[in-house]
Amino acid sequence: MERELEDRLMRYCAVDTQSDEGSASRPSTAIQLNLARMLAEDLRAAGAEEVTITDYGAVLATVPGTAPGPVIGLCAHMDTAPAFNATGVKPRVIRGYNGGAITYPDSALMLTPEHSPYLATKVGHDIVTASGTTLLGADDKAGVAIILTAVREIIATGAPRPKLRVAFTPDEEIGRGVDPRLPADLGVDFAYTFDGGAVGEVEHETFSADGAKIRIEGVSTHTGTAKGKMVNALHLAAKIIATLPQATETPEVTDGREGFWHIHALTGTAAVAEMSVILRDFELDGLAARGAMLQQVCAAVAATEPRATITCEIRPQYRNMRYWLEKDMTPVTLAHAACRAEGIEPVSNPIRGGTDGSRLTEMGVPCPNVFTGMQDIHGPLEWVSVQDMAAATRVCIRLVGLAAT
């Protein structure tokens, strides 16, 4: 099973599937369909039925049940994050990790237990990384490999199982992984995303999230005759950033249950500038307060320069899945039981982020998140243990078996 997982991960990570927030197409990038077609063939080879690629880019499949029980969905996302280079990924394996620093062939980077304490617990494991100039894409191709390996094993052994539905989605990293048609197309009683980190994580609480677009229209003139005429949109953008609370409410200074605001893109010219901001909080009132703060700051900066136009549009992204799952913890309890049956103590910490499960749960499909082993995601030091992936695969197989009645 470990070699199969490794082979799948290496093959999938080599395919560029980066999503694009600025694209209006669905999926946001056509390259994601390259992996979708590969996964559809792998599902058929594993024995899955009703394998389709939807017109919104999701790969769906069925594993027919051999015993009564709830219809269960197994979900992972195909895209990789736009946060870092994902073109030309060269995955590699460090076999039998010795506990020291991991170097990279294409850069001077080093991955060390001091930087990533979880790595210190993986001595003897086979560690997969990229080559130093790209992210790896274990987020969430590790989840894809885990589900496909579990599906092949479940079908091959013929163990009792309820009906299963598989969904590999595009565009999760840009908050568009759950098309409004997906819940009906999936057709399950509940589901699991395999999109978590350390072994034992079974998460049923995420951030609630909004996204904001700020547009600043200044006054453009020739710089040689600009006195008293020019209004520089970029200067006003800088004022907005400087006015927002940075010492206490940004990602780099918060953790645990603390929320934040985060400017992740700024583009433009002296004439027009646009800023993209994400707002995060575990509670809806805290999220609303951050949105109100952002709008107040924009209004205050606009008041200093009446010749400029500043707009701030806030849109919902996803909500804390806890609001729905706490009403019926059946899928969480089942995942906890599956972990314990494999000798793993489950851990349910809140996710400082979101998953497709956040949106699915909000849309009526309860969907907690299960570990894959991936670490240091969205950057060049991303890595995953093959043995951790194997543990997640065993948990997946076990929870399917426990659900059969």
Catalytic annotation, residues: 79, 172
Q: How many other C-beta atoms can be found within 10 angstroms of the C-beta atom of residue 231?
A: 20
* 183 phi and psi angles, rounded to 5 deg: -55, -45
Task: Identify which of 290, 308, 289, 288 has the alpha carbon closest to the alpha carbon of residue 299.
Answer: 308
**Which tokens belong to 82?**
């736009």
Give the single-character DSSP code of 80. B
313 phi-psi bin (left φ>0, alpha ψ -120 to 50, beta other): beta
Place of tokens 């951050």: 290
Evaluate whether 43 touches 58 at the Cβ level (below 8 Å).
Answer: no
27: preceding bond cis by omega (within 30 degrees)? yes
Would you call 215 helix, strand, or coil by DSSP?
Answer: strand
CA angle in degrees (0–180, nearest 5) for 387-388-390: 65
The radius of gyration of the chain's CA atoms, rounded to the nearest angstrom, is: 23
DSSP 91-152: -EEETT--SSPEE-TTSS-EE-TTT-GGGGGGTTS-EEE--SSS---HHHHHHHHHHHHHHH
Full 3-state SS string of 139-202 = HHHHHHHHHHHHHHHHHHHCCCCCCEEEEEECCHHHCCCCCCCHHHHHCCCEEEEEEECCCCEE
Evaluate whether 86 touches 378 at the Cβ level (below 8 Å).
Answer: no
